[in-house]
Chains A and B, each alone.
Chain A
């Protein structure tokens, strides 16, 4: 069932637009109960986030108070300030942004590969594409140690590039780009060639603009994944100067017994940008995750 929906276009419309309201003979009271149950479930699901934000604004005395209060009585931003003044979170934030920026290069590389596989016939295409698909099956936890050894051999441990490199391209995204780009009419490309456009120009000026929907999905998912990424920064960055937000936040765990407010401020700093991105680009996120379900 999932396989038959493999075209990005179809899933796009199916998920976001033309979902016809299904005619059901559920009584309105039944729907009311369902709505109430789901509403309570949603509040429980989202509760840890609310608790996090509330605690990040509490003075320490309130966050360790027993019994705890839901909302801060004397809200303060002091712990956000402390993250940047006493701890090095400004630095971690810049490193995270740098890793995200490098990851965006990966989106271009994956789009290029998708185009190459979709619109060219060349010797070795099938085996290479099979390799690309095979990498989807290899879990990161299996490769963490050898990948560290490889990066070490390339003298890339302890560099921002080394943090971003292992996750820069994913076989699955190359696959999605290929699927999308094979729907672009070949005549358009041929016409551009007859007009004398070079291959690079065709890619930048014709293919990329036509691929905006899939690029948007990939950019949003890449942002989320690289902003959140934890394993590679943890393994690759020895030097504190290269820590990303995720590593910085995980180190706050040592302060567990002492200062929950500070921890929650760190966690809020990491989570809120993702929530904002999610609210704005929800359509792309949901679409991307639906497609990833096809894997």
Chain B
């Protein structure tokens, strides 16, 4: 005699919260993006008016929007390959032995992934500081010129991306290590019998067998970099002159600093469409991969 309402009572709270903060926001964003909602409209809904696709038209002719979109692209081009190559190489090396020392090393590589970005950004800001930062001191001690880490329009992109790469590798190393477990030993032993070198085995046996893990990490890393926010927000506030502003940071500034909720929502919808597109590509490719 099962209580027929019991399952609903169990799932209701979590599902209600997911609907309220996962699904509803997308609908709200679409709706608000068609209005001129600002700080006035926040307190008094009668001051909001419907303006159709005006926000989207303005957005597409907004230089700041295109700059943030371009910056996000540059960040992704710098960051995605770096994160993947670094984590793959470290995972392959870490997998070469399984003693206490190698297991302890894993934790070191993993640390940046679980520590608060706010605190981390302060530390890096201190290292990058041009008056008393460690990095410029190290450069000067080997006779190299000083670098304006966070105020040069080009260097700032590299500096901000470096922090994110440093923080982004730990999780992917773990995923790659898990994938390395599933490489069948027989293949490696067969390669050994053929006299294949360590490098040859890695390139010809291990990496092809890991292609799905690599593909998976590539997609999730691309999505993560499309949402890039924390590092530039804390390190540079998007400066100098918007040179390190990502799309997410642009949306935050328009939404919360300038209180243009309608305008920022239109940007959110565009970002959502871009990310949904990448996700669909991922799902489709995964299906094809499973088929083979």
Q: Would A145 and B279 be within 8 Å (CB), given that A113-B11, A113-B15 are in contact?
A: no
Interface SS of chain A: helix, strand, loop or mixed? helix
Contact A143 B111 (CB under 8 A): no
In the bound complex, what is the Cα–Cα distance between A282 and B252 (angstroms)? Answer: 34
Taking CB as reference atom, which chain B residue is nearest A246? Answer: B118
* B23 in the interface (beta carbon within 8 A): yes
Chain B residues whose C-beta falls within 8 Å of the C-beta of A249 in the assembled complex: 116, 118-119, 122
* A206 in the interface (beta carbon within 8 A): no
* A128 in the interface (beta carbon within 8 A): yes
Most chain A CB within a 10 A radius of its CB, from B4, B11, B110, B226: B11
Within 8 A of B (CB), among A66-125: 66-68, 106, 109-110, 112-113, 115-117, 120-122, 125
* B88 in the interface (beta carbon within 8 A): no
Contact A132 B118 (CB under 8 A): no
Q: Would A266 and B105 be within 8 Å (CB), given that A19-B98, A149-B28, A227-B116 are in contact?
A: no
Contact A274 B268 (CB under 8 A): no
Within 8 A of A (CB), among B98-126: 98, 101-102, 105-126
* B127 in the interface (beta carbon within 8 A): yes
Contact B216 A38 (CB under 8 A): no
Q: Would A128 and B15 be within 8 Å (CB), given that A35-B97, A145-B29, A286-B174 are in contact?
A: yes
Contact A282 B6 (CB under 8 A): no
Q: A149-B42, A270-B119, A290-B174 are in contact. List 12 more A-B contacts (CB 8 A).
A: A14-B181, A42-B105, A121-B7, A128-B15, A165-B21, A174-B18, A230-B116, A231-B229, A246-B116, A253-B121, A260-B132, A268-B119
Contact B116 A228 (CB under 8 A): yes
Q: Would A145 and B261 be within 8 Å (CB), given that A48-B124, A150-B28, A224-B114 are in contact?
A: yes
Chain A residues whose C-beta falls within 8 Å of the C-beta of B209 in the assembled complex: 1
* B185 in the interface (beta carbon within 8 A): yes
For the complex of A and B, list the 9 residue pairs with the smallest distance between their C-beta atoms, beginning with the closest: A116-B10, A135-B22, A120-B7, A113-B14, A42-B108, A146-B28, A267-B119, A146-B25, A143-B25
Contact B272 A42 (CB under 8 A): no
Chain B residues whose C-beta falls within 8 Å of the C-beta of A137 in the assembled complex: 275-276, 279
Closest approach, in angstroms, between the C-beta of B8 and any C-beta of chain A?
7
In the bound complex, what is the Cα–Cα distance between A134 and B107 (angstroms)? Answer: 32
Chain B residues whose C-beta falls within 8 Å of the C-beta of A169 in the assembled complex: 13-14, 17-18
Chain B residues whose C-beta falls within 8 Å of the C-beta of A282 in the assembled complex: 107
* A144 in the interface (beta carbon within 8 A): yes
Contact A38 B90 (CB under 8 A): yes
In the bound complex, what is the Cα–Cα distance between A121 and B286 (angstroms)? Answer: 29
In the bound complex, what is the Cα–Cα distance between A110 and B10 (angstroms)? Answer: 9
Closest approach, in angstroms, between the C-beta of A67 and any C-beta of chain B?
5
Contact B182 A286 (CB under 8 A): no
In the bound complex, what is the Cα–Cα distance between A147 and B20 (angstroms)? Answer: 8
Contact A143 B227 (CB under 8 A): no
